[in-house]
Amino acid sequence: MLLAIPNVLKADELQLARSWLADAPFVDGRLSAGATARRVKSNQEVEPGAPDLERLNRLVMGNLVRHPLYRAGAMPLHVATPFYARYRPGMAYGDHLDDPIMGAEGVLYRSDIAITVFLNAPEEYDGGELIIRTPGGDQVVKSPAGDAVLYPASSIHQVSPVTRGERLVAVTWVQSLVRDPARRELLFGLNAAREKLLHSAAGAPETGQVNAAYLNLIRMWSDI
């Protein structure tokens, strides 16, 4: 499931994030890549431990994890600290697959879902599309500033070459309560129907049946 998440960051929050990133030290993005991805990766990322990085994480991730579409689509169990990536003309990230297990220092998590939060407007750069390979064809994403996109980390994907301007994004990963992406998609659709019924017909028998089915499917399919 590819899920667009609108309005993760508002205009004033984007301005604050951009001001912090303007002063942040960036390093070669290949330093955070595995051996295979390193061969096709060309970008820059904010150096770990940079000033304002913790405040930036609280702003971006705080808004993301509170967003109802994120919570319904990801069903998060563990969420990674994000990377902040910059692409300038000539930079790209060729076809690659995210590492299945991420983390360090004894804290490991499975990367079920990848999320990109767009930090500047698509009009500010040419190229730089996120291209996700799916059985139904390529999905091309170039979202408005402040929006995010969620998709299975098991998908081969790339960032096309930037030819003008600068692309700024935050990238993070989630270990979901439900490992299987097809099951997560079914639960997402069922939950959307459930929430409508709870709002419009809370006392109806069918509302109770849908609610019970949703909750018990989570009980059946969750990894914990």
Picking from 23, 70, 91, 51, the residue whose alpha carbon sits closest to that of residue 176 is 70
Q: Which amino acid is at 209?
A: Q
pLDDT at residue 133, as a whole number? 97
Give yes or no for residue 34 having a pLDDT over 80: no
pLDDT at residue 32, as a whole number? 87
* Structural contact between residues 115 and 155, judged by C-beta atoms closer than 8 angstroms: no
pLDDT at residue 96, as a whole number? 95
What's domain 3-176's architecture?
Sandwich (2.60)
Average pLDDT of 181-193?
A: 97
Q: What's the length of the chain?
A: 224
Q: Round to whole Å and give the CA distance between 59 and 207.
A: 36
Which sequence spans correspond to the domains of the chain? Answer: 3-176, 181-221
* Neighbour tally for 164: CB within 10 Å: 11
Kindly state the tokens that stand for 170.
């935050």
* Structural contact between residues 42 and 144, judged by C-beta atoms closer than 8 angstroms: no
* Structural contact between residues 23 and 53, judged by C-beta atoms closer than 8 angstroms: no
Q: Round to whole Å and give the CA distance between 118 and 37.
A: 21
Give yes or no for residue 104 having a pLDDT over 80: no
pLDDT bucket at 57, cuts 50 / 70 / 90:
very high
Q: Which residues pair with 28 in a beta bridge?
A: 44
Burial class (CB in 10 A: 0-12, 13-18, 19+), 202: exposed
Averaged pLDDT of the chain: 96
Give yes or no for residue 146 having a pLDDT over 80: yes
Q: What is the DSSP track for 131-156?
A: EEEETTEEEEE-PPTT-EEEEETTS-
Could you give the 3-state DSSP secondary structure of residue 52?
coil
pLDDT at residue 131, as a whole number? 98
Q: Round to whole Å and give the CA distance between 62 and 37.
A: 29
Q: Round to whole Å and give the CA distance between 131 and 139.
A: 6
* Structural contact between residues 120 and 88, judged by C-beta atoms closer than 8 angstroms: no
pLDDT at residue 64, as a whole number? 98
pLDDT bucket at 111, cuts 50 / 70 / 90:
very high
pLDDT bucket at 117, cuts 50 / 70 / 90:
very high
pLDDT at residue 107, as a whole number? 85
* Structural contact between residues 93 and 129, judged by C-beta atoms closer than 8 angstroms: no
Give yes or no for residue 134 having a pLDDT over 90: yes
Of all residues in the chain, the percent with pLDDT exceeding 90 is 92
* Neighbour tally for 140: CB within 10 Å: 10
pLDDT at residue 125, as a whole number? 98
